[in-house]
């Protein structure tokens, strides 16, 4: 299940270069290609009937949110010793908060 419906007013109608346009309901009926996540956002990819692949920004799933947090935590943890040497206590507190958030999502 996708979280496209919560974004309906800002994302839809979604138009393809072939001229076809999709609302949230017709988007959900298109063939799902997959989801792509980077460090900031998650895109849902679906094929238009013309075979072009379209993308819509969606809300991440719980698993995707956990993965994003784990990546951020990994990056911050690698830099933890530098933060400690610099006396950056707010950054160290952020690492602890992220660790707690990831643990709650487990």
What is the C-alpha to C-alpha distance for residues 58 and 73, in angstroms, rounded to an integer? 22
**49 closest CA partner among 74, 69, 29:** 29
Q: What is the pTM of this model?
A: 0.56
| pLDDT score recorded for residue 8 | 54
- Establish how many alpha carbons lie within 13 A of residue 50's alpha carbon, considering only the half-sphere containing its beta carbon: 11
The pLDDT of 48-66, averaged and rounded, is 87
- Given pLDDT bands bounded at 50, 70 and 90, which one contains residue 5? very low
pLDDT at position 33 over 90: yes
Q: Which two tokens stand for residue 67?
A: 């993965």
| pLDDT score recorded for residue 106 | 63
């Amino acid at each position: 299940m996708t979280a496209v419906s919560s974004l309906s007013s800002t994302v839809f109608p979604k138009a393809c270069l072939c001229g076809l346009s999709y609302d949230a309901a017709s988007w959900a009926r298109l063939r799902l290609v997959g989801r792509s996540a980077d460090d900031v956002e998650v895109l849902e990819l679906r094929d238009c009937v013309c075979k072009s692949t379209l993308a819509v920004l969606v809300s991440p799933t719980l698993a995707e949110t956990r993965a994003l947090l784990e990546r951020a935590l990994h990056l911050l943890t690698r830099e933890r010793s530098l933060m400690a040497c610099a006396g950056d206590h707010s950054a160290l507190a952020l690492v602890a908060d992220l660790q707690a958030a990831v643990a709650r999502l487990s």
